[in-house]
């Protein structure tokens, strides 16, 4: 079994981070490797909500929420993707670091098929790919949320040409 965790501090209140992450069908706007995300259920949040995502390098996956702590954490199972995956679980958890900073923890737990051969492939092929994907994902989520928290630029009167 592989377990990989990535953690990053985001300069935004936990409520703002949660509001962004809880929009489950918006993940393609947060993470570049997700090219499409659509709901499979009428339920948009909470345990039982489900989405289908197209993920570069992993294929089409179905993610179903199995844990949901409003404002704090969610976890989902992952079906599909590479055939060598026996099971996969992704856990996303927020921790209030201060009033204006949140720590995001993402943990992926993956079990592979094919016995010893599968474990070797998992260790030397899947694990590095998953580490890189998760590292990139936390950085992209941070960037998106921090950009959305920045104040809008103010209109500045243009100086006359002779003032330059």
Min mean pLDDT across 14-18, 70-74, 82-86, 103-107 is at 82-86
What is residue 82's predicted lDDT score, i.e. its pLDDT? 86
Flag whether pLDDT at 163 surpasses 60: no
Domains by residue range for the chain, with CATH:
2-148 (3.30.530.20)
Q: What is the mean pLDDT of residues 88-115?
A: 97
Q: What is the mean pLDDT of residues 148-163?
A: 63
Q: What is the mean pLDDT of residues 12-32?
A: 95
Q: 105-109: long-range contacts (C-beta < 8 A, 24 or more apart)? A: 105/5, 105/6, 105/7, 106/5, 106/6, 106/7, 106/134, 106/137, 106/138, 107/3, 107/4, 107/5, 108/2, 108/3, 108/4, 108/5, 108/134, 109/1, 109/2, 109/3
Flag whether pLDDT at 95 surpasses 80: yes
Contact call for residues 54 and 36 (beta carbons, < 8 A): yes
What is residue 149's predicted lDDT score, i.e. its pLDDT? 85
The phi and psi torsions of 70 (rounded to 5 degrees) equal: -50, 130
What is residue 39's predicted lDDT score, i.e. its pLDDT? 96
What is residue 139's predicted lDDT score, i.e. its pLDDT? 97
Reduced to 3 DSSP states, what percent helix, strand and coil does the chain have, rounded to the nearest 5?
30, 40, 30
Higher pLDDT, 72 or 161: 72
What is residue 102's predicted lDDT score, i.e. its pLDDT? 98
């Amino acid at each position: 079994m592989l377990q990989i965790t990535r953690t990053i501090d985001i300069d935004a209140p936990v409520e703002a981070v949660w509001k962004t992450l809880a929009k489950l069908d918006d993940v393609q706007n947060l993470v570049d490797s997700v090219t499409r995300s659509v709901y499979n259920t009428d339920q948009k949040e909470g345990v039982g909500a489900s989405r289908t995502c197209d993920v570069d390098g992993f294929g089409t996956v179905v993610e179903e929420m199995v844990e949901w702590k409003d404002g704090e954490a969610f976890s989902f199972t992952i079906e599909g993707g590479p055939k060598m995956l026996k099971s996969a679980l992704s856990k996303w958890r927020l921790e209030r670091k201060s009033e204006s900073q949140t720590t995001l923890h993402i943990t992926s737990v993956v079990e592979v098929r094919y016995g010893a051969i599968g474990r070797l492939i998992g260790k030397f092929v899947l694990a590095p790919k998953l580490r890189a994907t998760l590292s990139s994902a936390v950085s992209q989520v941070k960037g998106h949320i921090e950009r959305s928290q920045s104040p809008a630029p103010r209109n500045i009167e243009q100086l006359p040409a002779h003032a330059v």
